[in-house]
Amino acid sequence: MAPYPLKWRFVMLKFWGGGQRGIVLPIVLSFIAIFGLQIAGLFQYSAHTVRQIRTQEDYLKTFHTAEAVTERAVAQIKFHIQQFGTVPTPAELAVMANVQINTGSDYSYEDVSGNSTLAIANSGGLTTKVLTDGDYAGLNGTVQTVNITVVGRDTQANHPAAVSLTQAIEIQLIPIFQFGVFYQEDLEILPGPSMTFAGPVHSNASMYLGTNATLNFNSDLTAAGNIYHGRKDDPSAVMAGGVFIKDGGGTDQNMKNGDGTWLDSLHADWLLESQERWDGNVSSSFHGVSSLNLPLPTGSEPHALIERRDAGDSTQVQSQKIDYKAHLRIIDGAVTNQAGSSVELRYCSGGSVYTGSCPGGETIVNPITSTTFYNFREAKTITSTDIDVALLKSSPNFQSIASAANGVIVYVSDRRNQGSAVNQDAVRLKNGSSLPTQGLTVAAENPIYLKGDFNTVSKQPAGVVGDSFNVLSNAWNDAKSAMSLSNRTASNTTVNTTVIAGNTTTTPGNYNGGFENLPRFLEGWSGKTLTYSGSTIVLFNSQMATGGWIYGGNYYTAPNRAWSYDTALDDANYQIPGFPSVYNVAKTSFEHT
C-alpha cells in the first residue's frame, strides 16, 4: 500500500511545485540563512561582550592595584604621625615612596623599565584655615596637603595597560580647645538634673549617655569607640530620661525609639539609622571615626603635658610639655624664668620692685603665698601654692613679662609633700576675676583650685591645666574647710576658662562622677549656680588627686549647672596660651584616568 493516498500525493506535488514552480524550498533556505546570520551575530556579540568584561576586569584589577598603593601611602603617613608626633618632611615622604610594596606578578606600580611610579609630596606649606573636609569640617586648623600619585600597570599587556591615580590628603592640626568636651578615654555624661551642652563632643574611646531628666546636645558627637545609652558602672540601670541630639536641620532627635528601645551602638541598624536620624551629626567607629591624638611620639602619654621637664626629654616631648613653654616657673616654691634665673615678683605697696626693703611706710606685696585647707574627698590637708592674680598683675616684673608675651604661661610643680599620707600639694588661683591682657594659662603637675569668680571682667583667653580641676565658690572659707558640710555653703560663682584635667576611672559599681562632676566641689551647692563657659578636656587619669567621687555627706552637693561652650573659641585669633592641638588625616580628593 502507498504511504499516502492518491489525493494527498497530488496535493503535495502541487505544493512542492513539481520542481521549478515550487516556492517553499527557497523560503525555508532563506530562513536558514537568516538564522545562520543571527547565530553568527550572537557569537560575535558574545565574543565582544566577553572582551568588554575582560577589559573591564583588567581595568578594575589595575585600578585597585594603584588604589592599594595609595592607601598604603596614607597608612604610612598616619603611622609616622603616630610614631613621631610630627608632620612628615619632604625627605621623609620621599623615603615612604621608595618603600617596596608587593603587588604580585600580574599587576605593578612600576613602569616597563622597573622604576616606581609612586610619588608622595607636600603641596605648598602649612596653612591655617576653616576645615572643609573630614569629620571635623567647620573647625579651625593648621593643615598640610599631601598629594599621592601612582600609575598601576597590567604586566600581561592587556588593555588598558595602565591606570593613573591621584589622591590628596590633608594632615589637620586642630586646637583641642575647639571641642566643647574632649576625652582621651571613655566619656560618661549622666546628670541628675536636666542639662544642655553646646559645642562639639568627642571621645577617643566610647561614650555613655543617659539621664532620668533630659540631656541635650546642640553640636556633633564623635567617638572613636562606641556610643551607648546608659551607665558604664551599671549597664542594667534604667535611665528613662530623653537624650536629645540636634539633626542637620537643628531639630532635637531623641536616642529613644518609639518602642522604648534606644538607638545606640548596640542597635542592629545603628550604622544607617544613626545617620538618618541625626543627618551625620552622630558618628562612632562604625562610621570610620578614628582617634585624635596629641603630637607625641610612641611611648609618651598625654600626661606628659603637665610633667616637670626632664633631661631625657626628646625634642618632640619638649615641644608639648607646658613646662618648656612657660614664661614663669614655680618649682617647689621657687620662682624662675624659662632660663632658670630667679624672678622677683614681690613689690612694694608704692609700686616699685622689692629689692630687699621698701621705702618707709610701704609694705611688701607678694602675689605668691602658701596656705592650707582640708579636702574631704582626698581626706588630706591641702598645702596650696596660692597665686593672687590681682596682685600678680600689678607686679612690675610680671608686667614686663606680660608685655612681651602673647599671653602668659605659668607652670607650677610642687613635690614637697610627695608621698605624704596626710598632706597634698596643690595650686590655687584666687582674685582672678580680671586676667592679664592677651590671656593667662596656669598649668601644674598638681591639682588646681579656682577660688571665686574667674575671668569675668573683660574676658581674656584663659586656660587651666592640672592633675584635677576644683572649684571653690565666692563664699569659700579656709577656716571652715574641715567642718561639716552645713558650714560650707556655696554661693553663685562664674568661671570662664578652658580646662585640661585628670579624672578617676569608673569601675563596675563605682562611678567616677562623669563629665558633670569633672569640676570637683567641696561645698554644699544645693540651690546655687555654677556658671561655666569654656572647653573641658580630659586627657589622663589623676595621679595625685585620686580620691573617689562621693556625693553628699560631708563631701558636697551639686550646683545648678549653667554650662556652655565658649563660642569665642571658634575664632581662629582667640588662642589659649600654651594649649596643644590634635592630629587628624582627612581625604580631600581622588582622581583617576
Beta carbons within 8 Å of 105's beta carbon, 6+ residues apart: 155
pTM of the shown model: 0.88
Encode 209-236 in three state secondary structure: ECCCCEEEECCCEEECCCEEECCCCCCC
Q: Domain boundary at 229, 260, 286, which?
A: 286
pLDDT at 41: 58
pLDDT per residue as tens digits for the range 505-549 = 999 999 999 999 999 999 999 999 999 999 999 999 999 999 999
Residue 532 CA to residue 561 CA, distance in Å, equals: 8
Instruction: Identify whether residues 420 and 436 lie together within a single domain.
Output: yes
> Residue 15 falls within a domain, yes or no?
no
pLDDT over 80 at 380, yes or no:
yes
pLDDT over 80 at 35, yes or no:
no
Residue 405 CA to residue 338 CA, distance in Å, equals: 13
Instruction: Identify whether residues 367 and 491 lie together within a single domain.
Output: yes
**Segment holding 440, helix H or strand E:** strand 440-444
pLDDT over 50 at 52, yes or no:
yes
> Residue 291 falls within a domain, yes or no?
no
Beta carbons within 8 Å of 446's beta carbon, 6+ residues apart: 385, 412, 413, 414, 424, 425, 426, 427, 466, 467, 544
For the chain, how many structural domains are there in total? 3
pLDDT over 50 at 13, yes or no:
no
Please provide the average confidence, as pLDDT, over all residues in the chain. Answer: 91
Instruction: Identify whether residues 347 and 457 lie together within a single domain.
Output: yes
pLDDT over 90 at 260, yes or no:
yes
> Residue 25 falls within a domain, yes or no?
no
pLDDT band of residue 100 (cuts 50, 70, 90) is confident
Instruction: Identify whether residues 254 and 401 lie together within a single domain.
Output: no
> Residue 321 falls within a domain, yes or no?
no
Instruction: Identify whether residues 404 and 541 lie together within a single domain.
Output: yes
pLDDT band of residue 403 (cuts 50, 70, 90) is very high
Instruction: Identify whether residues 247 and 268 lie together within a single domain.
Output: yes
For 331-345, give the DSSP string: ETTEEE-TTS-B---
Residue 580, φ and ψ in degrees, nearest 5: -85, 175
Instruction: Identify whether residues 342 and 473 lie together within a single domain.
Output: yes
pLDDT at 16: 46
> Residue 41 falls within a domain, yes or no?
no
> Residue 46 falls within a domain, yes or no?
no
Instruction: Identify whether residues 357 and 439 lie together within a single domain.
Output: yes
Copy the grid coordinates of residue 405: 608675651
pLDDT at 592: 78
Instruction: Identify whether residues 167 and 209 lie together within a single domain.
Output: no
pLDDT at 24: 67
Helix, coil or strand: residue 569? helix
> Residue 387 falls within a domain, yes or no?
yes
Q: Domain boundary at 286, 318, 334, which?
A: 286
Instruction: Identify whether residues 427 and 566 lie together within a single domain.
Output: yes
List the one residue out of 373, 493, 381 whose CA is nearest residue 432.
Answer: 493
| Cis amide linkage into residue 160, ω under 30° from 0 | yes
Length of the chain: 593
Spatial contact of 320 and 310, defined as CB atoms under 8 Å apart: no
pLDDT per residue as tens digits for the range 302-321 = 999 999 999 999 999 999 99
Instruction: Identify whether residues 172 and 198 lie together within a single domain.
Output: no
Least confident among 46-50, 231-235, 274-278: 46-50
Instruction: Identify whether residues 468 and 567 lie together within a single domain.
Output: yes
Query: Regarding beta strands 328-331 and 408-413, do their DSSP bridges make them parallel or antiparallel, or are they unpaired?
Result: parallel
> Residue 293 falls within a domain, yes or no?
no
Query: The domain containing residue 234 runs over which residues?
Result: 181-286
